[in-house]
Amino acid sequence: MDRQEVQKLANYFRDKPAEEVLRSFLSDHGLHASNGNKDRIALASSLGAEDQVLTHMVLEIYPDARIFILDTGRFHSETYELIQKTMLRYGVHYEVKFPESADIEEMESRFGPELFYESIENRKKCCHFRKVKPLQKVLSTLDVWVTGLRRAQAVTRGSVDKVEWDEGNGLVKLNPLADWSEDRVWKYIKQNNVPYSSLHDRGYTSIGCAPCTRAIARGEDVRAGRWWWETPEQKECGLHAAGSGI
């Protein structure tokens, strides 16, 4: 798929429902592999509400879909509970990716286990080794990745489209929920009895690593609980960085 084709698809799918976007890519673009190879399309799940919606949708369309989790090693215990619960509910086997132990050993030896509070540079370093590097490894096996990004989530996500060329990673990125509101996400979860993190019931709007995520107060921005000590413009971990087409 070249960039021109991606732009055409972006225009075509801009106002189409999330299920239609997913169904089309999961069945019509030759992304299913044969001969024991892996499919070239996968959902990246952070176990947040949007990704749980997409997990439900994707598995309804294609029960053998690839869904991967970047386990940073710093999740809340509630997140591990949700992984287990989701596996049992859908019979899904996640692809779980860990950071390289040598990277973490060296980083923590030099900068300590809570380096992320010391500077943005250190926070980005931790996100790089725990999330971005493992992600890049998975993306190298894909032509299309699916994410739960929504425009309303953050100032850094205002121009997210349903189909995009991810410049930084060199593949197509699908954001089927780009135009969904938070209310719509929760309505879908309740209507379909989709499992979700108990952290959401305690004021967490965004699920991330335990030391870098907190509950938010009424009226705060939905991503205010992530890296709350930084300004909104700085709040991306590199998975969805500006310059990567999103």
**Contact residues: ligand SF4, CB under 6 A:** 72, 74, 116, 123, 126-127, 130-131, 208-209, 211-212, 237
> Which residues are within 8 A (CB) of 27 and not within 5 positions of it... i.e. 6 or more apart?
61, 62
CB of 118 to ligand SF4, least distance (A): 11
Nearer to ligand SF4, 83 or 209 (CB): 209
Spatial CA neighbour of 232 closest among 170, 165, 157, 168 = 157
Coil, strand, or helix at residue 226? strand
Is the Cβ–Cβ distance between 182 and 212 less than 8 Å?
A: no
Q: Which of 127, 209, 212, 237 is catalytic?
A: 237
The closest residue (CB) to ligand SF4 is 209
Active site annotation includes 126? no
Is the Cβ–Cβ distance between 133 and 162 less than 8 Å?
A: no
CB of 54 to ligand SF4, least distance (A): 21
What are the structure tokens assigned to 50, written together? 């949007």
Nearer to ligand SF4, 63 or 211 (CB): 211
CB of 92 to ligand SF4, least distance (A): 24
Name the strand (E) or helix (H) holding 95.
Answer: strand 95-97
Nearer to ligand SF4, 40 or 76 (CB): 76
Nearer to ligand SF4, 55 or 213 (CB): 213
Q: Using CA of residue 135, residue 141, residue 145, residue 148, what is the dihedral sign? A: negative
| Residues tagged active-site | 237
